[in-house]
Amino acid sequence: MPRKKSEVLVKKQIIAIGLAGAGKTSFLKGQLSKSSTIVADSVHITTDLQDSRVWDVGGNPRYDRMQSLYHQNAKTALLFIDCSRVNESIANLRSKVKKLPTDIRYGVVFTKRDLTPNLDIAESFEKVKEQLNLFSKPFVSSKPYVSTSLHDSETSLNIKLKELIESEARAFKKIETALTSLEKHRDKKIKKSDSKYDKVTGFIQDTRQRINDFNSGNNQAFAGYQKHHQGMIKDLKDNRTTAKWWRAIAINFATLGVSLICTRISTRKTTKSYLPFYSESLATSGTKTMKVESQIAALTA
């Protein structure tokens, strides 16, 4: 018997937090009630890519303690910045961000863009990262923010919401398509008695397992991925047919922001860590800047 919409298994918990009046409920208005949020309201968004539960957490500081209960199981936090009150919005978020799980992923929504047409959104995003100490934190994608205005239609807002929360799922779906094509190629072109068959199978299974682990909250799931499959990657790149599938896999890892396919790099504090999402300020080891774009270009060349 098919599940009712309210009974669909929710695979992704998302919280929307920000200053009271910053526009959280307006951004989610196509899915939520029209009234302002006191403690928290939620919306269940089901698409072809994933099921998401988005909690619209009220911005009134009187309810901070109650709202913290909604943070515990969240996988993604949408931080709302009112373009007409950027500094105030950041100040309001500072204590809330500190209470979020350490492995949570971030997205930033700039609202009321039309009230400050000269505001540099990209520069403001860097300011948000700096003042909230998010440089070393994982983001939802390589472009982890959107901007909205009071004139955006309900349809436009819904599209922006889904684009922001679906970025991971969309990239992983493209990776799965490439893996499925590689499976079909293996079954058609490689005999099971050939050692290459098991090698390809191992690559496919390991990639899928790491994706599952990553989606389960293991931010180090891709640590050592490139090194572990170095020989297989070379074989894929050397074959015209399989090269395109490897390119699709690598490019979509880059879309996710998987730094160096999670090669170990040094942070500013000289500590070593595996960074599953690209962070430009941390993508430096010694004097050598290691950007995802050049890394992926080398992987797919």
Q: Which of 132-136, 140-144, 206-210 is predicted with the least confidence, judged by mean pLDDT?
A: 140-144
pTM (2 decimals)?
A: 0.56
Q: pLDDT (tens digit, 9 = 90+) per residue, 148-203?
A: 887 776 666 666 666 666 667 778 888 999 999 999 999 999 999 999 999 999 99
Q: Is the pLDDT of residue 37 over 90?
A: no
Topology of the domain covering 5-152: Rossmann fold (3.40.50)
The residue extents of the domains of the chain are: 5-152, 170-300
What's the average model confidence in pLDDT over 223-245?
A: 90
* Long-range CB contacts for residues 28-31, cutoff 8 Å, separation at least 24: 28/54, 28/56, 28/157, 28/161, 29/154, 29/157, 30/154, 30/155, 30/157, 30/158, 30/161, 31/158, 31/161
Enumerate residues 6+ apart whose C-beta is below 8 A from 246: 178, 233, 236, 237, 299, 300
Q: How confident is the model at residue 211 (pLDDT cuts 50, 70, 90)?
A: confident
Q: Is the pLDDT of residue 32 over 70?
A: no
Nearest alpha carbon to residue 122 among 89, 144, 100: 144
